[in-house]
Structure 1
Amino acid sequence: MNRKLIPACLLFAGFISCNTSNSPVNTITVTNDSSVSLNDKPVIINRQALANIPQENRFPLVTTSTGDTIAAQLDDIDRDGKWDQLFFVADFKPEEERKFQLSWINAPIKLNPRSHIRFGVRQTMDSHVEPAISDTFYADQLPGVIGYQHYQTDGPTWENDKAGFRLYLDGRNSIDVFGKKVSYITSDSIGIGKDGHTENNYSDMKDWGTDILAVGNSVGIGGVSLLIKDSLARLGVTEQDSLNNVDTTIFNIVSNGPVHSLMEFDYRGWKALNRNYHATMNTSIWPGMYAFQNTVSLQNLTGDETLVVGLVNSNTTRPLKEIFINDKWVALLTHDQQSVNKTWWLGLALILPKEDYLGYMEAPRQGKLSTTFLAKLKVKNDQPVTYYAVAAWELSNEQFKDEAYFTDYVHNLTEQLAAGLKITVN
Structure 2
Amino acid sequence: MKHVSLLLNSIASRKLIYGGLLLVAITGCSPEKASEQQTSAAAPAPATQGQYQVATAEISNANDFSLQQEPVYFSFYDLGIDSNDAAKLAVLVGDQVQASQSVDTDGDGALDGLLFVSDFAPAERKNFVISTDPAIVKPALKKQTQAEISIKEGGEWNGKVYEGGTFKNVDSVNPPPQYTDHSYWIRYEGPGIESDKVAYRIYLDWRNGFDIFGKKVSDVVLQNVGLDGYESYHHNADWGVDVLKVGKSLGMGGFGFWNGKSVELVSQTDSRSATITNNGDIYSGFRINYNGWQVNNQKLDMTAHFAMNAGSRLVKVNLSKTERLPNMAIGLVKHPGTSLLQGNQETSGYAWTYVASWGKQSLSGENDHLGMAIIFRRDDRAQQTEDETSYVSVMKDKGGQLEYYFLAAWEHELDGVKTEAEFKAYLDREVLRLTKEPRVRFESTLSAEAKKKPLTADVALNWTKALADSELDRKTLNYHYQGWDENRRRPSKFEYDVVGLQIMALQALNEVSPDARYVDAAEKVTGSFIADDGHIHTFEPELFSIDLTKPGDVVMVLEQRTGEEKYRKAVDFLRENLKRHPRTSGGAFWHRSTYPNQLWLDGVYMGMPFLAQYAALYETGEQQHESFKEAVHEFVIAREQLRNPDTGLYYHAWDESKKAPWANKETGQASQYWLRGLGWYAMALVDVLDYLPESETELRKTMIDITQELAADLVRYQDAETGTWWQILDKPGAIANYRESSGSAMFTYFYAKAVNKGYLPESYRDVAIKAYQGLINEFVTVHKDGKISMTDQCLVAGLGFGRDGSYDYYMTERIFSNDAKGNGPFIFAGVEMYKLLKQ
TM category, shorter: 0.7 to 0.9
Residue matched to 2:374: 350
Q: CA deviation at 1:109?
A: 4.5
CA separation of 1:5 and 1:351: change in aligned 2, threshold 3 A? closer
Q: Does 1:129 align with 2:153?
A: no
Distance in 1, Cα, partners of 2:57 & 2:384: 42
CA separation of 1:392 and 1:79: change in aligned 2, threshold 3 A? closer
Q: Does 1:171 align with 2:199?
A: no
Q: Does 1:336 align with 2:359?
A: yes
Do the aligned partners of 1:399 and 1:405 also contact (CA within 8 Å) in 2? no
Q: CA deviation at 1:6?
A: 3.9
SS of equivalent to 2:306: strand
Residue matched to 2:275: 252
Q: CA deviation at 1:10?
A: 4.0
Q: Residues 301-340 of structure 1: matches in 2 within 5 Å? A: 301=324, 305-314=326-335, 316-324=336-344, 326-327=347-348, 328-340=351-363
Q: Which has the higher helix share?
A: 2
CA separation of 1:95 and 1:152: change in aligned 2, threshold 3 A? same
SS of equivalent to 2:238: coil
Do the aligned partners of 1:246 and 1:270 also contact (CA within 8 Å) in 2? yes
Q: Does 1:114 align with 2:144?
A: yes
Q: CA deviation at 1:232?
A: 3.1
SS of equivalent to 2:222: coil
Q: State which of 400, 403, 414 in structure 1 corresponds to 2:420.
A: 403
Q: CA deviation at 1:36?
A: 4.3
Q: Letter of the aligned partner of 1:342 in structure 2?
A: E
Q: Residues 61-80 of structure 1: matches in 2 within 5 Å? A: 61-65=90-94, 67-78=95-106
Q: Does 1:150 align with 2:179?
A: no
Distance in 1, Cα, partners of 2:167 & 2:139: 28
Distance in 2, Cα, partners of 1:188 & 1:108: 26
CA separation of 1:360 and 1:55: change in aligned 2, threshold 3 A? closer
Q: 106-115 or 264-273, which moves further after superposition? A: 106-115
Q: Letter of the aligned partner of 1:324 in structure 2?
A: N
Residue matched to 1:211: 242
Residue matched to 2:264: 233
Q: 133-142 or 46-55, which moves further after superposition? A: 46-55
Distance in 1, Cα, partners of 2:382 & 2:436: 23
CA separation of 1:77 and 1:321: change in aligned 2, threshold 3 A? closer
Q: CA deviation at 1:339?
A: 0.3
Distance in 2, Cα, partners of 1:372 & 1:55: 46
Q: Letter of the aligned partner of 1:376 in structure 2?
A: V
Q: State which of 55, 61, 64 in structure 2 corresponds to 1:32.
A: 61
Distance in 2, Cα, partners of 1:189 & 1:399: 22
Residue matched to 1:422: 439
Structure with greater contact order relative to length (CA < 8 Å, sep ≥ 6): 1
Q: Letter of the aligned partner of 1:151 in structure 2?
A: I
SS of equivalent to 2:433: helix
Do the aligned partners of 1:120 and 1:152 also contact (CA within 8 Å) in 2? yes
Q: Letter of the aligned partner of 2:387 in structure 1?
A: A
Could you say which structure has the larger radius of gyration?
A: 2
Distance in 2, Cα, partners of 1:268 & 1:68: 46
Distance in 1, Cα, partners of 2:149 & 2:281: 16
Distance in 2, Cα, partners of 1:227 & 1:149: 31
Q: Does 1:48 align with 2:77?
A: yes
Q: Residues 4-19 of structure 1: matches in 2 within 5 Å? A: 6-7=31-32, 10-11=34-35, 13=37, 15-16=39-40
Distance in 2, Cα, partners of 1:92 & 1:56: 28
Distance in 1, Cα, partners of 2:195 & 2:276: 16
Q: Residues 365-380 of structure 1: matches in 2 within 5 Å? A: 371-380=389-398
Distance in 2, Cα, partners of 1:214 & 1:81: 34
CA separation of 1:273 and 1:139: change in aligned 2, threshold 3 A? farther
Q: Letter of the aligned partner of 2:167 in structure 1?
A: V
Question: Mind listing any 5+ residue stretches in structure 1 that lack a counterpart?
Answer: 237-244, 365-370
Distance in 2, Cα, partners of 1:348 & 1:247: 31
Q: CA deviation at 1:79?
A: 5.1
Residue matched to 1:239: none
Q: CA deviation at 1:352?
A: 1.9
Q: CA deviation at 1:52?
A: 6.0
Residue matched to 2:291: 268
Q: Letter of the aligned partner of 2:96 in structure 1?
A: D
Aligned-residue RMSD, C-alpha:
2.8
Distance in 2, Cα, partners of 1:53 & 1:192: 40
Q: Which has the higher strand share?
A: 1
Distance in 2, Cα, partners of 1:298 & 1:5: 23
Q: CA deviation at 1:388?
A: 1.5
Residue matched to 2:196: 161
SS of equivalent to 1:58: helix
Q: 345-354 or 33-42, which moves further after superposition? A: 33-42
Do the aligned partners of 1:58 and 1:105 also contact (CA within 8 Å) in 2? no
Q: 177-186 or 22-31, which moves further after superposition? A: 22-31
Q: CA deviation at 1:23?
A: 6.9
Q: CA deviation at 1:78?
A: 4.5
CA separation of 1:277 and 1:140: change in aligned 2, threshold 3 A? farther
Do the aligned partners of 1:162 and 1:183 also contact (CA within 8 Å) in 2? yes
Distance in 1, Cα, partners of 2:83 & 2:373: 43
Do the aligned partners of 2:30 and 2:109 also contact (CA within 8 Å) in 1? no
Q: Letter of the aligned partner of 1:394 in structure 2?
A: E
Question: Mind listing any 5+ residue stretches in structure 2 that lack a counterpart?
Answer: 1-27, 157-161, 445-839
Do the aligned partners of 1:263 and 1:283 also contact (CA within 8 Å) in 2? yes
How many pairs were matched up?
A: 397
Residue matched to 1:141: 179
Q: CA deviation at 1:214?
A: 1.2
